[in-house]
């Protein structure tokens, strides 16, 4: 192989040399011939250069050919080695396949032997079953003969008894069933009456015990919130700076915060008045920042108000999280936590709503433990039952229905939603959790010191509600229900038709809105009942 490559290289070099000489002599023919000696010298030098270059190229080609030959030899050796390795691997795989085939063949032979054994056992079992079926058929035949004989004997005995008693079998059976039925009804009525009386006594006793334990285990403080906040000033000179030139600062403050700023003769103090406690708290923090900073002008008031809004929101979130920790609830939507914290600044008849919810949750949890119910679910229902009060200043409607809609929107369980919407009987109660939520709410709101509304003011409000409804023509009776949250108006059906009943309901609701101040909403229900009575003589 190497000798062939070298021979080809030599031939190629000779061909290149001949071509070079031909080209050289052609150039010589086109040029004016110089002296012979110079020509010979030049020809000799060029021939030597061409020969030297040809030798170098031949040496390079030969070395390259040798390298290529060496690489070809190495590759051939590598291919031979890989072929040997592949042969070994193929032989090894063939050996493994043969061993696996032997194992599979042995396994198949074992399975075939087991199948043959199973078929033999099944044949034996089939023979035994056939023998058993034959025996059963013989036994059934004997039983049928014996049944016929017993029926014949029973028929003879029945005929004898009918002749002796003077009654047929159906008549005797009906008489016996009637006597047994009357006796069973009487005994069942007595048992049911005893069970009902015992259940009523036990239920009342246990209910009193549960409520008493729940009230005894809760020690809540009394509250007396108001709609006015007092901000103390470092000096009376600060009042003039708060008012500003021609009152621009106080007008800007009231416009931005939505809170009335009252500056009177009280030394070193001003009053903030607003029915929205969250807004009033934001305004209080804003005014304290302005007093501490000393710079009071409309632009600074806006900056301080925005900072105070963020602080109040953080305080609300912290208050909601603290309430969850105190009650023992860990998972709740962040928006519900924020709304729960906002109730820290809201009151109902002087009772702090957030403290009322925490207290209600504890009471409901205690009663759930006594009844063996899900404590966490009941406490969650009680804690969220007044969540709608956080939005009653912004959304129209009952706080129970608003709270149920909020809880449903943020993924609360349907039992929790139902307990919220039913805790004032605006929706029919369907679950035990809703009943416990109502009971715990009533206990927390009715305990001594919980709410500051006097009995006299409460009675006057109910009387005024009844007077407003009673003043309309055709009204027969008026009932104020659910602590004044609902009015039932009974009208005379012969004087008021269905359309007039709707007009009365709308007029009563409008007059209540104009004359009275009350939290939440009041439902007005006009009932027109028609009765037809006849006598049969």
Q: What's the Rg (C-alpha) of the chain?
A: 54
Average pLDDT, the chain: 79
Residue 224's pLDDT is 41
Phi/psi of residue 402, nearest 5 degrees: -65, -45
Give 369's contacts (C-beta < 8 A, 6+ positions apart): 375
Q: Are residues 424 and 467 in the same domain?
A: no
| Res 5 pLDDT > 60 | no
Separation of alpha carbons 336 and 338, rounded Å: 5
Boundary (domain end) residue, out of 387, 421, 446:
446
> What CATH number does the domain containing 490 carry?
3.30.70.1350
In this structure, is residue 152 part of a structural domain? no
Boundary (domain end) residue, out of 131, 166, 192:
131
Give 518's contacts (C-beta < 8 A, 6+ positions apart): 461, 484, 512
In this structure, is residue 191 part of a structural domain? no
Residue 61's pLDDT is 77
Give 104's contacts (C-beta < 8 A, 6+ positions apart): none
Residue 311's pLDDT is 87
3-state secondary structure (DSSP) of residue 222: coil
Q: Are residues 319 and 405 in the same domain?
A: yes
In this structure, is residue 521 part of a structural domain? yes
User: In the 3-class helix/strand/coil scheme, how is 222-279 assigned residue by residue?
Assistant: CCCCCCEEEEECCCCHHHHHHHCHHHHHHHHHHHHHCCEEECCCCCCEEEEECCCHHH
pLDDT confidence bin for 167, thresholds 50/70/90? low
pLDDT confidence bin for 6, thresholds 50/70/90? low
> What CATH number does the domain containing 278 carry?
1.10.3210
| Res 435 pLDDT > 80 | yes
Residue 11's pLDDT is 72
In this structure, is residue 89 part of a structural domain? yes
In this structure, is residue 462 part of a structural domain? yes
Paired with 261 in beta bridges are 272
Which range of residues forms the domain containing residue 374? 228-446
Residue 83's pLDDT is 81
- pLDDT digit string, tens, across residues 463-488: 888 888 888 888 888 888 776 778 89
Q: Are residues 342 and 242 in the same domain?
A: yes
Q: What are the helix (H) ranges across 343-454?
A: 353-371, 375-384, 399-409, 414-421, 432-446
Q: Are residues 501 and 397 in the same domain?
A: no
Separation of alpha carbons 309 and 191, rounded Å: 67
Q: Are residues 489 and 386 in the same domain?
A: no
| Contact criterion met (CB below 8 Å) for 424 and 357 | no
| Res 148 pLDDT > 80 | yes
Boundary (domain end) residue, out of 97, 113, 131:
131
Least confident of 161-165, 376-380, 395-399: 161-165
Separation of alpha carbons 473 and 478, rounded Å: 12
How many structural domains comprise the chain? Answer: 3
pLDDT confidence bin for 8, thresholds 50/70/90? low
Q: Are residues 233 and 117 in the same domain?
A: no
Q: Are residues 400 and 279 in the same domain?
A: yes
How far is the CA of 455 from the CAs of 74, 153, 394, 452, in angstroms? 114, 87, 29, 9
283-302 average pLDDT score:
84
- Looking at per-residue confidence, does 273 or 509 come out higher? 509
In this structure, is residue 24 part of a structural domain? yes
Phi-psi category of 430—alpha, beta or left, where left has phi over 0 and alpha has psi -120 to 50?
alpha
13-38 average pLDDT score:
64
| Contact criterion met (CB below 8 Å) for 383 and 361 | yes
| Res 275 pLDDT > 60 | yes
In this structure, is residue 16 part of a structural domain? yes
Q: Are residues 127 and 54 in the same domain?
A: yes
pLDDT confidence bin for 219, thresholds 50/70/90? very low
| Res 502 pLDDT > 80 | yes
| Res 215 pLDDT > 80 | no
- pLDDT digit string, tens, across residues 226-269: 556 777 777 777 778 788 888 888 888 888 888 888 887 777 78
Q: Are residues 435 and 466 in the same domain?
A: no
% of the chain beyond a pLDDT of 90: 0
The residue whose two tokens read 């632009």 is: 299
In this structure, is residue 193 part of a structural domain? no
Q: Are residues 424 and 473 in the same domain?
A: no
Q: Are residues 414 and 486 in the same domain?
A: no
Residue 222's pLDDT is 43
- pLDDT digit string, tens, across residues 85-142: 888 888 888 888 888 888 998 889 888 888 999 888 888 888 888 888 888 888 888 8
Residue 216's pLDDT is 52
| Res 209 pLDDT > 70 | no
From edge to edge, which strands make up the β-sheet containing 228-232? 228-232, 269-273, 260-262
Q: Are residues 292 and 341 in the same domain?
A: yes
pLDDT confidence bin for 225, thresholds 50/70/90? very low
| Contact criterion met (CB below 8 Å) for 482 and 425 | yes
434-452 average pLDDT score:
74
């Amino acid at each position: 192989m190497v000798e062939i490559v070298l021979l080809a290289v030599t031939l190629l070099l000779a061909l290149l040399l001949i071509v070079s000489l031909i080209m050289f002599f052609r150039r010589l023919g086109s040029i004016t011939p110089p002296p012979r000696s110079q020509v010979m010298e030049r020809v000799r030098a060029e021939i030597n250069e061409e020969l030297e270059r040809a030798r170098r190229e031949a040496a390079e080609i030969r070395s390259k050919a040798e390298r290529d030959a060496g690489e070809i030899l190495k590759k051939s050796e590598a291919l031979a080695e890989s072929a040997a390795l592949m042969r070994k691997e193929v032989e090894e795989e063939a050996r493994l396949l043969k061993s696996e085939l032997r194992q599979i063949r042995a396994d198949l032979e074992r399975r075939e032997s087991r199948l043959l054994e199973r078929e033999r056992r099944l044949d034996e079992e089939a023979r035994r079953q056939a023998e058993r079926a034959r025996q059963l058929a013989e036994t059934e035949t004997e039983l049928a003969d014996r049944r016929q004989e017993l029926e014949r004997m029973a028929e003879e005995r029945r005929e004898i008894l009918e002749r002796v008693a003077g009654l047929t079998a159906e008549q005797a059976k009906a008489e016996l069933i009637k006597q047994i039925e009357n006796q069973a009804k009487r005994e069942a009525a007595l048992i049911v009456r005893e069970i009902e009386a015992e259940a009523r006594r036990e239920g009342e006793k246990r209910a009193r015990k549960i409520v008493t334990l729940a009230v005894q285990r809760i020690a809540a403080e009394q509250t007396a919130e108001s709609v006015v906040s007092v901000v103390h000033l470092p000096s009376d000179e600060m009042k003039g700076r708060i008012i500003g030139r021609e009152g621009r600062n106080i007008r800007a403050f009231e416009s931005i915060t939505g809170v009335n700023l009252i500056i009177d003769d009280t030394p070193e103090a001003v009053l903030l008045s607003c029915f929205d406690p969250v807004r009033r708290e934001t305004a209080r923090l804003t005014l304290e920042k302005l007093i501490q900073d000393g710079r009071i002008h409309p632009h600074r008031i806006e900056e301080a108000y925005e900072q105070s809004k963020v602080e109040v929101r953080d305080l609300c979130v912290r208050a909601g999280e603290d309430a969850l920790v105190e009650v023992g609830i860990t998972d709740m939507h962040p928006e519900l936590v924020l709304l729960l914290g906002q109730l820290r600044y809201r009151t109902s008849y002087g009772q702090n709503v957030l403290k009322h919810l925490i207290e209600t949750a504890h009471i409901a949890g205690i009663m759930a433990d006594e009844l063996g119910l899900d404590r966490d679910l009941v406490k969650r229902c009680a804690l969220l039952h007044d969540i709608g009060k956080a939005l009653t200043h912004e959304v129209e409607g009952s706080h129970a229905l608003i709270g149920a809609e909020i809880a449903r929107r943020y993924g609360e369980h349907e039992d929790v939603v139902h307990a919220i919407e039913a805790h004032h009987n605006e929706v029919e109660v369907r679950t035990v959790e809703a009943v416990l939520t109502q009971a715990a709410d009533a206990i927390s709101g009715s305990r001594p010191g919980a709410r500051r509304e006097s009995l006299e003011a409460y009675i006057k409000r109910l009387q005024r509600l009844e007077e407003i409804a009673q003043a309309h023509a055709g009204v027969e009776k008026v009932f104020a229900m659910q602590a004044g949250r609902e009015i039932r108006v009974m009208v005379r059906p012969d004087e008021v038709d269905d359309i007039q009943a709707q007009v009365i309901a709308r007029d009563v609701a409008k007059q209540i809105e104009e004359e009275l101040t009350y939290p939440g909403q009041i439902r007005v229900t006009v009932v027109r009942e028609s009765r037809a009575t006849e006598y049969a003589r």
